Amino acid sequence: MCPAVFAIQCDRFRKSYFSSQWQILNYQADKKLAVKNMSRSHKLVLLFLAVSILSISALAESNYTVNLTTNKFQGNYLVNQSGFALYYFSDDGSKSGVSTCYDDCASKWPSFYAQTITVPDSLRTADFASITRTDGSKQTTFKGWPLYFSSRDKAAGDIFGNGREDNLWHIVDPQEQPQLF
């Protein structure tokens, strides 16, 4: 209990404390009631909006199977729909566009293949084709050069394979890439 001297302050404190606690309880109850009383159609609309917002970024990422990106040090280069760099192997030039990367090489440099090529206006679909590798798998080419990924690249935007292995592996700059055949 409060001493007589502080009775007025104690009484005010009790009233304000219990009043604020009551307001918190009312707010929580109103919040639960609002969700509980929300109509099924409103819940479906909210769910649809949430799914739409999440899928927009996924759709934006996959508009093109091959796209163009820029690195401030390397310039423009080709990437797949997820933003991973595409590379060419200089040794493939000596074989007129036939892939020469198999076994251990293929584990470090997986081939890139897209059944259907869609590109932005800055690239030409006619520059892309596909070949059948000697192991029977398909591989996409650009201007006759077979395209690869680098196992060193762990995230979109990485270009850790550029200039590797005696400078035989390179990112593909579409403006500078010569026509192989």
| Per-residue pLDDT tens digits of the chain, which is 181 residues long | 555 555 555 555 555 555 555 555 555 555 555 556 667 766 666 565 554 444 433 334 448 899 999 999 899 999 999 999 999 999 998 877 899 999 999 999 999 999 999 999 999 999 999 999 999 999 999 999 999 999 999 999 999 999 988 889 999 999 988 888 7
Report angle CA 60, 139, 106 to the nearest 5 degrees: 105
Are the C-beta atoms of 160 and 134 separated by less than 8 Å?
A: no
The reported pLDDT for the residue numbered 178 is 86
The reported pLDDT for the residue numbered 96 is 79
The reported pLDDT for the residue numbered 56 is 39
The reported pLDDT for the residue numbered 54 is 46
The reported pLDDT for the residue numbered 97 is 81
The reported pLDDT for the residue numbered 29 is 54
Alpha helices in 7-157 (DSSP H): 7-37, 40-61, 104-108
d(C-alpha 167, C-alpha 2), whole Å: 85
d(C-alpha 76, C-alpha 48), whole Å: 38
How much is the pTM? Answer: 0.65
